[in-house]
Amino acid sequence: MKKRLKTFLPGAVIATSLLLTACNTTPVANSNKTETVDYFANDGLGNALAIVQHPAGVHVDGITYVSYQGPLEDPYVASYNHKTKQWSGPFKAGVSTMGKDPSRTKIDNHGKPTMIIDDLGYIHIFYGGHGGTDRHGANPLGNKHYGENRHSVSKRPYDISEWQEMYTIPVFGTYNQAVKMDNGDIYLFYRHGAHRSDWVYHKSTDHGRTFEPAVSFLKHKKRTDIRADDSWYAWVSKGHGDDIIVSYDYHVCWDYDAGINGRGHTTQRHDAYYMVFNTKTNTWRNVKGEPVTIPVTREHADKTTLVARTGKNWTFNGSAHLDENGYPHISTNIGRDLGHKTGGPKQTSYFRWNGSEWLGGNPVNTQARKDNLDTRGDFKIHSPTDITFTLGYEESNTGIIADFNSQDGGKTFTKTKELLRRPGAQWALSALIDNAHPDARMIVAEKQRNSNWHRIYLVGDKGPIGRTKSDANVLKPDAVINMTKKK
């Protein structure tokens, strides 16, 4: 291919054939076959990863399986064998309806894949949704926006090379989160549509081949005091035994001709909440063991599941995990509204339950707070007072992935280990990989400001896992590397 496309608006169909040719699993010829790089692929598109869509990676029997958003917003899957130190893929695991519409000039980014591996070894990914569209008919639990929530399964156990689409879930979902219980049951949680929609879950008792109807657990509804709807963002993961834990924040979903200072719809979110779902008894409770009635309204959430108020500060919901006592620890990103639609930079902050009250609220990276910079990440609990966060942040125009540890229950955190550093970079991060190998704890995408193509890394205690350069450069040299961002 001799012609280059100098500018490209992501999603334009005129670039589809060029990208399909440019982005495949065939290695690029390289004069030095042994030269290695510390990324495993260079075809991550846009915000290729996020904390909320999780797990994005799973470790099973010495192999780490990872997923991310690649060319044309389709889901891609790769794997790394820790014994042989060999990579496989990335392979395209499904076809998203997003990223191919010539009328859209921005990358949507809501259809990033979520991964789970069933007890038979088949790999499942859920992807492609941002609420559905009018052609899908009425959304019974909310409104619509774009995309189509989809489900693909590997054709063979533990084999990422071939996939089949499954028609098992409604098209209206976004922010997929998957949980596998000890008995093999799979639960899929997501928001059933765009902003003004319920959050729901489906249960599968046959290894994800069929799912029961959606059950609402967070309720959207119109407010009567202001021109807005109650809405939510949630994080869901396995607790102890038969429990699933849920942390969430509240979204003031303003009408498009209302909002603060007439700004219309914004990403305004506040506060932190927590509750527990017992999958055996099919009941919900708060941190004190008191019953919670679903679907939870804002009023009921404030009375029964509130962790902390954030006042005028805006939030971006993080993750939640349990310590050895079964007590929850929560991260949420908190920052000021700086006067524009997306608010201001938010710093990862930490809360924990000590058996009688919620403690914390302190930022993990205090320097980022002083410099008013954004941080995102996930954390691991070693003991009730020993916690390690892995954060992505910027420092002097340099992107850094580093560990921060607290030995005093979150009162203070100290930077302990730097895992990755790249000049000029910002980061898109996954949540911690499910059952992570210590050498492969998190997937991260290096976001450079002059391109929508991003390198994807698998990072662990020893830093990123390397790969032969010819295999990692899955974008051929004549591909459109410098996709210009829409101004």
Contact call for residues 166 and 152 (beta carbons, < 8 A): yes
Element (H, E) at 21: helix 16-22
Active-site residue, 175 included: yes
Largest pairwise CA distance in the chain: 67
- d(C-alpha 186, C-alpha 123), whole Å: 12
Query: 467 - beta bridge partners?
Result: 37
Contact call for residues 107 and 10 (beta carbons, < 8 A): yes
Please state whether beta strands 75-81 and 215-218 pair in parallel, antiparallel, or not at all (unpaired): unpaired
Contact call for residues 186 and 193 (beta carbons, < 8 A): no
Of the candidates 65, 68, 76, 175, the residue annotated as catalytic is 175
Of the candidates 110, 195, 202, 251, the residue annotated as catalytic is 110
- d(C-alpha 192, C-alpha 130), whole Å: 9
Active-site residue, 65 included: no
Closest CA to 434 of 41, 68, 116, 88: 116
**φ and ψ at residue 18, rounded to 5 degrees:** -65, -40
- The alpha-helical segments, DSSP class H, found in 436-481 are 469-472
Contact call for residues 98 and 146 (beta carbons, < 8 A): yes
Structure-token match 């921060």, residue found: 404
Closest CA to 343 of 333, 330, 355, 358: 333
Query: Where in the sequence numbering do the catalytic residues fall?
Result: 110, 175
